Amino acid sequence: MAEFQETGAPTAATAAGNGAATAAGTRAPAMPLIDPFGRRLSYLRLSLTDRCNLRCRYCMVEEMDFLPRADVLTLEEIDRLAGLFIRLGTSRIRLTGGEPLVRAGAMELVRSLGRHVRSGALEELTLTTNGTMLYKHAAGLREAGVRRVNVSLDTLDPHKFRAITRWGKLDKVLGGIDAARDAGLVVKINMVALKGVNDDEVHRMVAWCGEQGFDLTFIELMPMGDTGFAPLDGPDPQDRFLPLARLRTELETRWNLEPSGHRTGGPARYMRVKETGGRIGFITPLTHGFCDGCTRVRLTCSGSLCLCLGQEDAVDLRTPLRRGDDDGQVMAVVRDAIRRKPKGHGFARPGGAVRRAISVTGG
């Protein structure tokens, strides 16, 4: 398939072979996706690439073996699949990576997907990013229809930031966050809690996010992939696991946390910080399951539909997609896959680690 035109609109070939992509707002939607447990699947996390310009120690090894280009979906194929999922009831799409903005043509794809927001077929188009390229693309994201970005930021200490990310420069990320705010994007900060690494910064991060007007979400370290976490810890990466119940207890020594009914469609449970007026979210896949309300699936950049972040099972969509222009066949594979969606992840089981790396799955 040819790549996108410079305007970011689908090419004529895509329009001819993809009625869903160009007419998602006018064609009648198909029956929604309902899994075996009665959950309606309305949230797609869509990975644009497995590549990243950082090497965060809990996410990647330093010398990564990335997917060959032939195995990665083209931008047209991603656009087509997004359109099909919208027809199947998807109302929220989050673009992820790796780092999604390192993908050549990423902004053209974002602009193309924005047509679904403008038509009303898609309620929300968001992005998870490490922030390193926001200085360049923040205004374009806002113009394309993105209204909110999640920025992964585990520390406000430049030396610690370099140690965690191996290659990163904190000032570049902070500049990108400023650019996002200036462009009118809502910014949420995601912080992976790492025992003995950044747990001494949680109060500082709450205060900073409150000053900046950003929501903050703490995330438990998940046992995914072989990341070679040394030298930040010993031989077992899970030595850095910090239960968020313990972190919350520490926060409550300084801050008054009040219940909040705020939801974003993701797994975070939010509290309001009385002193700052800001919100704090907690994502606790290991210590406090949230699977009963799961409405999400993930599509990797290679076309694998991951039915659960904490399970190995995945369904190949790339093969039926590349067989031809029959959207019905692809949608049938998706429907069949949803019938296999598990009730919950297996992280808490002995040996519950997932071999698939976070960067491959998408955030």
Judge whether 152 is annotated as a binding position: yes
Contact 54, 130 (CB under 8 A): yes
Is the Cβ–Cβ distance between 50 and 359 less than 8 Å?
Answer: yes
Flag whether 294 is marked binding. yes
Residues in the chain: 363
331 is in an annotated binding site: no
Pairing of strands 269-273, 33-34: unpaired
Would you say 306 is a known binding-site residue? Answer: no
Task: Check whether 94 is labelled as a binding-site residue.
Answer: yes
At a CB cut-off of 8 Å and minimum separation 6, what does 41 contact? 32, 33, 34, 35, 88, 89, 90, 295, 296, 297, 338, 341
Tokens of 239: 């030595």
Q: Which two tokens stand for residue 242?
A: 């910090």
Is 52 annotated to bind a ligand? Reply is yes
Cα atoms found within 13 Å of the Cα of residue 172, Cβ hemisphere only: 14
Residue 226's closest CA among 49, 60, 360? 60
What whole-number distance in Å separates Cα of residue 160 and Cα of residue 172? 15
Residue 26 labeled ligand binder: no
Residue 109 phi, psi dihedral angles, 5° rounding? -65, -45
The alpha carbon of 129 is separated from its chain's Cα centroid by a whole number of angstroms, namely 8
Give CA–CA dist 25/212, Å, rounded: 36
Task: Find the helix or strand (DSSP H, E) in which 81 lies.
Answer: helix 75-87
The Cα 352–Cα 268 span in angstroms is 21
Q: Has 308 been labeled as part of a binding site?
A: yes
Phi, psi of 178 (to 5 degrees): -60, -40
Q: Annotation-wise, does 349 bind a ligand?
A: no
Q: Are 190 and 148 within 8 A, CB to CB?
A: no
Q: Is 59 annotated as a binding residue?
A: yes
Q: Is 209 annotated as a binding residue?
A: no
Per the annotation, binding residues for GTP are 45, 94, 128, 188, 296-298
Binding site for [4Fe-4S] cluster, by residue number, is 52, 56, 59, 291, 294, 308
Annotated binding site for S-adenosyl-L-methionine: 58, 98, 152, 222
Q: Which residue positions form the known binding site?
A: 45, 52, 56, 58-59, 94, 98, 128, 152, 188, 222, 291, 294, 296-298, 308
